[in-house]
């Protein structure tokens, strides 16, 4: 039996309201300063000029993270804002909050970051080499898993044909129609309401009154 998607018609007709369609009075806009280098040390971050730009409400770096400066699905090893080193092009370094998107983008250009480029490990073989730079204190291997069954040598000897090849397979990502993001609205009672799109196509709205 065919089932009609409840969001099918609104999506194909453009009637569905996405997060970027929402606006609220006195909204502020945030932009992220991201690394242009795949691997580099951070020698200095100066946001003084950006903070002085009219219309800028805040500039945040790793120094403004009060708790653990890290997140991750299993291991929280991804920094919210990089403090000592960037590990890929696009690593987050700072955030700007401003009255308009244009002001936020201009402020990003005023943040000064001194980098020292490091060797790039762009292949598994390079990262596993004995002389490779360690990306993490625990090493460059996140996890090892082994599985063994049967006699491989016996299987090879009984094989008519043996093919050896190396395959590079890119990761596959879901293509969501809505990009990640959220809107936080301060309420009159001192709480906040958070509007956020999730990977399951739902909207979560909750209020928080304890800080």
Answer for the pair 94, 112: CB distance below 8 angstroms, yes or no. Answer: no
End position of a domain, from candidates 119, 134, 152: 119
Question: In this structure, are 113 and 189 located in the same domain?
Answer: no
Whether residue 1 is contained in a domain is answered as no
Number of domains in the chain: 2
Question: In this structure, are 184 and 107 located in the same domain?
Answer: no
Q: Domain with 79 in it: what CATH number?
A: 3.90.1170.50
- pLDDT score of 200: 53
End position of a domain, from candidates 119, 136, 169: 119
Residue spans of the chain under pLDDT 70: 1, 176-178, 198-211
The model's pLDDT over 154-210, given as tens digits with 9 standing for 90+, comes to 999 999 999 999 888 887 777 766 677 778 888 889 888 888 776 554 444 554 544
Question: In this structure, are 32 and 114 located in the same domain?
Answer: yes
Whether residue 155 is contained in a domain is answered as no
- pLDDT score of 198: 64
Phi-psi region of 125 (alpha: psi -120 to 50; beta: other; left: phi over 0): alpha
Task: Indicate the pairing of strand 192-197 with strand 29-34.
Answer: unpaired
Whether residue 190 is contained in a domain is answered as yes
- pLDDT score of 170: 84
Question: In this structure, are 40 and 110 located in the same domain?
Answer: yes
Q: What is the DSSP letter of 63?
A: G
- pLDDT score of 210: 47
Task: Indicate the pairing of strand 203-208 with strand 92-98.
Answer: unpaired
Answer for the pair 167, 177: CB distance below 8 angstroms, yes or no. Answer: no
Question: In this structure, are 28 and 108 located in the same domain?
Answer: yes
End position of a domain, from candidates 84, 99, 119: 119
- pLDDT score of 209: 46
Cα torsion 50, 55, 60, 63: sign: positive
Whether residue 174 is contained in a domain is answered as no
Which residue range forms the structural domain that includes residue 189? 179-211
């Amino acid at each position: 039996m065919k089932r009609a998607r409840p969001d099918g018609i609104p999506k194909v007709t453009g009637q569905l309201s996405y997060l970027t369609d929402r606006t609220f009075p006195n909204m502020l806009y945030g932009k992220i300063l991201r690394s242009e280098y795949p691997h580099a040390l951070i020698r200095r971050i100066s946001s003084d000029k950006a903070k002085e730009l009219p219309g800028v409400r805040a500039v945040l770096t790793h120094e403004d993270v009060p708790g653990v400066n890290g997140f991750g699905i299993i291991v929280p090893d991804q920094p919210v804002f990089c403090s000592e080193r960037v590990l890929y092009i696009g690593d987050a370094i700072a955030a700007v909050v401003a009255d308009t998107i244009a002001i936020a983008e201009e402020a990003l250009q005023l943040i000064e970051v001194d980098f020292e480029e490091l060797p790039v490990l762009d292949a598994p073989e390079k990262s596993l080499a004995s002389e490779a730079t360690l990306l993490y204190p625990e090493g460059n291997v996140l996890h090892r898993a082994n599985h063994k069954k049967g006699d491989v040598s016996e299987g090879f000897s009984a094989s008519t044909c043996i093919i050896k090849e190396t395959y590079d397979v890119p990761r596959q990502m879901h293509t969501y129609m809505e990009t990640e993001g959220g809107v936080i609205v301060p309420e009159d009672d001192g709480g906040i309401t958070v509007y956020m799109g999730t990977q399951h196509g739902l909207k979560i709205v909750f209020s928080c009154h304890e800080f």
